[in-house]
Amino acid sequence: PYFDYLEKKDYFIPGGIMATDTIFDWCVDHDIPYYCSNWRHNEEQILHENKQVISEANAEFVYVYLPKLDSVMHNNGPYSDATKAKLNDLETKITDLYRFAQKLYNEVSLYVISDHGMAPVTGSYDIKSVVDRLGFDFGKDYVAFYDSTMARFWWKDTRVKAAVLDTLNSLDCGYVVSTEELKRLRVWFPDPKYGDSYFLMNEGLLLNPSFMGLKVIPGMHGYHPDAPNSYSIMLSNREIPADIQSITVIRKTMESELAK
């Protein structure tokens, strides 16, 4: 009853993401016919469906969603043979689709974008027990959400807040992110609905147990954006402008490509 989460809603449709619009809303506003992959289908189906749309020339923009790499990396680790094999498979699939489009159109712009990095998991820490041992009342004194790489807290009492944060600050598996840093990372919100305080684990460490499951898996994302394995990629057959340096401006790149 305390929590709500994003992925139960379909964020690939116009009006899909709460409190913001997406590139698809932008396409609707600018009369740009687009096609968005059906994320419920498997990669083979998705590629087949995209080829269909490309051959019918009904869209100026196709969003090809190939999500399997994420689970391969979670379950095998980012530097595993399974991950290498999946990357080769993606290269084959994307090259094939690109060549298919090139045969039908004079100009094809290809952007390959990953949504996040992936760190090899090296260990775990039981943050929940550390907080539980302080003896405060969950729901009455505070509320906590134990995610895979961070714990979020909502405080109902300032003394409880001080005691829990003191204890968390004494741990060396992670740290309490300051308001100043949250603002710098552009994840500070005036409404504390996402949390009053955040404890972020060091790269490679998982909270275990967490509300996301009781298993330590080989790969995880959701660490500090400056962590070495947090880097994401954008590849293109077009020149990527020098000011495109962050995941937050990928949208801008897509818009300027489509506005041409």
Work out how close the CB of 81 gets to Zn ion at its nearest, in angstroms, rounded to a whole number.
19
Residue positions counted in the chain: 260
243-254 burial code (b ≥16 CB/10 A, e <16): eeeebeebeebb
| ∠ Cα 118 11 220 (to 5°) | 15
Q: Which is nearer to Zn ion, 25 or 70 (CB)?
A: 70
Q: Which is nearer to Zn ion, 70 or 126 (CB)?
A: 70
Work out how close the CB of 87 gets to Zn ion at its nearest, in angstroms, rounded to a whole number.
16
Work out how close the CB of 202 gets to Zn ion at its nearest, in angstroms, rounded to a whole number.
19
Q: Which is nearer to Zn ion, 70 or 157 (CB)?
A: 70
* Contacts to Zn ion by CB under 5 A: 70
Q: Which is nearer to Zn ion, 79 or 98 (CB)?
A: 79
Q: Is the peptide bond before 209 cis (omega within 30 degrees of 0)?
A: yes
Q: Which is nearer to Zn ion, 152 or 221 (CB)?
A: 221
- Contact of 100 with 47, CB cutoff 8 Å: no
- DSSP code at position 213: B
User: Alpha-carbon distance 163 to 185, whole Å?
Assistant: 26
| ∠ Cα 72 186 13 (to 5°) | 55
Q: Kindly state the tokens that stand for 187.
A: 């994840």
Work out how close the CB of 72 gets to Zn ion at its nearest, in angstroms, rounded to a whole number.
10
- Quick one: angle between helices 68-76 and 81-104, nearest 10? 170
Burial (CB < 10 A; 0-12, 13-18, 19+), residue 193, is: exposed
Q: Which is nearer to Zn ion, 131 or 220 (CB)?
A: 220
By beta carbon distance, the residue nearest Zn ion is: 70
Work out how close the CB of 21 gets to Zn ion at its nearest, in angstroms, rounded to a whole number.
24
Work out how close the CB of 192 gets to Zn ion at its nearest, in angstroms, rounded to a whole number.
25
